Amino acid sequence: MFEMFGVKGASCPRCERKQGGDARYCAGCGMILGAPRNAPVLRENRWVAGPDELAVFFGVRELSGVFVKTLRVPATARAFILQGDKTTEVPQGEYEIEGFFTRLNHLLRDQHAEILVTRTGALPVEFRFDDVLTSEQLAVSTRLMVSLRIENVPAFARHFMTMPGTIGSKELSELLAAPVRQLAEEFVGARSIREMAGNRELREQLDERLQGGLKLLLAEYGLAVVKVDTVELRHDKYDANRAKVGSLWLAADERHVQVEHRKHLDDLYDAEEWQRLRRSEQQARVRQREAELRQDDAIARAELSLTGADRAHAVRSRQIELYARILDAESRKQALERGAGEVLAELEHELAKKGAARLDEAQEWKHLRALAQVRMRTELEVAQQETQQARQVARQRFSQALLQQQIRNKIEQANLIEDASRQHAELVRLRASEEDAARRARAIDEEEHVARHQALALANAARRREAERLQEWEDEQARQQVEATRTSLQQDKLQRTIELDARQSREQQAVQLEAEERRHALHLAEGDAQSQRELRRMDAFAAMDDTAKLALAAAPNAAALNDFMKTRVHATMDAGQLSALAGVVGAGQLTPAEALEQVRQEQARREVEVDKDRRHQVELLATQARFGTGIVAAVRQCAHGHPAREGDRFCASCGAPVPG
């Protein structure tokens, strides 16, 4: 993989044999020239990385050349052999040449190979930053420990093993200082000192943020972040003479920092200083927003330094954090308790400037949350674009730093060349490569400036989209309000129609009921009049004698009346008269006994009919007396014969007066 990078003319790092001018491998042991002078690996043949080394890599002309001694791979190390496009891990243990190739029988002993020796565990790399700013522009000192290990050997070899050498904590610290600092600034810059002081999970959140950000960056280089430890996170206050007044330990590793030095936050700053810090934070956000609004879409007019851009990113992160707190809150009071009061006041002021109608508390809170959501969406779009650009620039800078490290290592190896002319030629070539790398670094800076300017243009476009989305939301709310009003009016109209229909139906029912009552009263009056006429007729008929009754009765009734009269006459006869009558009758047809029996039967039947007729007459008279009297008294008539109710002074049909 790095056969072409052997340093020509250098002495062998293992056997120290001097080589010819064009040799890349040692003529004696086959070790690649320019390999790191690691005595345990190269001379003792014990493949183990140093205490502050993550990996050691070198090459051999023939794989069998590594067995000048017994090969030992301890438990604390991992060894890999790369031949062509195949990577083979060598298990821990001791190996002789024959046993080695018997166990790993797919390796070619006569072919060149690259060797990678790394650690079993992760290598901790320390980072220290003294001027990470919070949202109030207060400096915070951080000390972090990032543990790294090799995860993907082919990817690591493709990026790091372009020449023999080692990768240790010093090289990793140089490579990762910029991205680690950027992640720490994004996290701390989005929070105030009070919020961090009151957050018991601050260390875990910072560790998670750093580990997630570095994971994305280092995955393509074959490295993995095993663990991130925040050793300390503190704020130091100084007076005008730069003398330390006190320290506030936001997060501290109890093994390294004495906790009795912790001071309360209010012991460092009084109320006036806190007010000044809050005004400073608010002014910074206002200045940033005004600067963004003043920027033109043309890149040539966008003027913003890298430092200012980093600060703008921190301000934007802070805004996103505060908008998220408003969206997570269920009421205005809860949003204030979560520290989003300033952004909430800004949103309320914007609503007041637009002349929004004063709604109830629930509707007003809904409006504020919607406005915060639109704002947060805009900030997220800009932040995502900036994060994507920052990640791309970080990759370019990481690759550039790695290239510069490799060039420096080549220069150090070139200094080992004994031939002065060859050494000078090699150094000239490497210096030219170093200048090319420097030009590439400046080109990356220029690309970053252009990306920043493009980000400003995108931010302006996002602001316009924000205004459009806000207008669309307000139009939608107005439309919904109009629809709600229209629906309410329709419901009221329908309700009134239903009430009018019900009222009309009740009135119609009342009119029908009154007409029915009138018809019933007329029917009762007619029935009473008919009853009176029947009674008068019956009274007149009763006053007639029997002969007149018989003469006036109809033919069917005359026979019945004749029988009745006979029976009544017979009922008034005594025994002698009945016997005489029976004799007269029997003289013609019946015997006296038969005639007498017939008379008695006729008399009994007549008595039954008389009793039945009498009871019927009594019941009829009683019924007429019970109903007729009340009806006659209740039914009143006008001059035209129309019935009138009790209490009416005029007729309801014709209007004529009703006699009292």
Alpha carbons 622 and 433: distance in angstroms, whole number? 141
State the pLDDT confidence band at 181, using cuts at 50, 70 and 90: very high
Q: Where are the domains of the chain?
A: 3-119, 124-268, 270-496, 544-644
Alpha carbons 642 and 233: distance in angstroms, whole number? 109
Residue 200: pLDDT over 70: yes
Q: Is residue 366 helix, strand or coil?
A: helix
Q: 236 forms bridges with which residues in the sheet?
A: 247
> Amino acid identity of 376?
M
Residue 414: pLDDT over 70: yes
More confident site: 124 or 294: 124
Residue 455: pLDDT over 90: no
pLDDT of residue 1: 58
Q: Which secondary structure element, helix H or strand E, spans residue 380, and what is its range? A: helix 361-414
pLDDT of residue 586: 53
pLDDT of residue 306: 46
Alpha carbons 21 and 7: distance in angstroms, whole number? 10
Distances (CA, A) of 332 to 174, 317, 319, 342: 47, 22, 17, 12
pTM score over 0.85: no
Alpha carbons 635 and 20: distance in angstroms, whole number? 150
Q: 133 forms bridges with which residues in the sheet?
A: 139
Residue 225: pLDDT over 90: yes
pLDDT of residue 582: 63
Range ranked top by mean pLDDT from 320-329, 477-486, 509-518, 529-538: 509-518
Range ranked top by mean pLDDT from 168-172, 300-304, 589-593: 168-172
pLDDT digits (tens, 9 = 90+) for 139-153: 899 999 999 999 999
**Number of C-beta neighbours around residue 544 at 10 A:** 12
Least confident of 101-105, 155-159, 344-348: 344-348
What is the residue whose two structure tokens read 């030095």? Answer: 261
What value does the mean pLDDT take over residues 195-221?
Answer: 88
pLDDT digits (tens, 9 = 90+) for 479-516: 777 787 788 778 888 888 888 888 888 888 888 888 88
Alpha carbons 88 and 569: distance in angstroms, whole number? 152
State the pLDDT confidence band at 409, using cuts at 50, 70 and 90: confident
State the pLDDT confidence band at 551, using cuts at 50, 70 and 90: low
Residue 135: pLDDT over 80: yes
pLDDT of residue 610: 74
Alpha carbons 467 and 463: distance in angstroms, whole number? 6
pLDDT of residue 176: 92
Distances (CA, A) of 234 to 171, 240, 246, 347: 27, 20, 10, 33
pLDDT digits (tens, 9 = 90+) for 345-379: 777 777 676 655 455 566 777 777 777 777 777 77
How far, in whole angstroms, is CA 438 from its chain's centroid? Answer: 49
Least confident of 74-78, 110-114, 574-578, 649-653: 574-578
Kindly give the interhelix angle for 592-623 and 555-572, rounded to the nearest 10 degrees. 110
Percentage of the chain modeled with pLDDT above 70: 77
What value does the mean pLDDT take over residues 49-58?
Answer: 91
What value does the mean pLDDT take over residues 275-286?
Answer: 74
| CATH architecture under which domain 124-268 falls | 2-Layer Sandwich (3.30)
pLDDT of residue 574: 66
Alpha carbons 249 and 140: distance in angstroms, whole number? 10
Alpha carbons 39 and 47: distance in angstroms, whole number? 10
Q: Which secondary structure element, helix H or strand E, spans residue 540, and what is its range? A: helix 420-543
More confident site: 161 or 6: 161
Alpha carbons 251 and 235: distance in angstroms, whole number? 10
Regarding beta strands 123-133 and 86-90, do their DSSP bridges make them parallel or antiparallel, or are they unpaired? unpaired
How far, in whole angstroms, is CA 211 from its chain's centroid? Answer: 26
Q: Is residue 88 helix, strand or coil?
A: strand
The mean of the pLDDT values for the chain is: 77
In DSSP notation, 511-528 reads: HHHHHHHHHHHHHHHHHH
Alpha carbons 618 and 612: distance in angstroms, whole number? 10
> Amino acid identity of 346?
E
State the pLDDT confidence band at 223, using cuts at 50, 70 and 90: very high
pLDDT of residue 589: 56
Q: Is residue 643 helix, strand or coil?
A: strand
Alpha carbons 165 and 610: distance in angstroms, whole number? 150
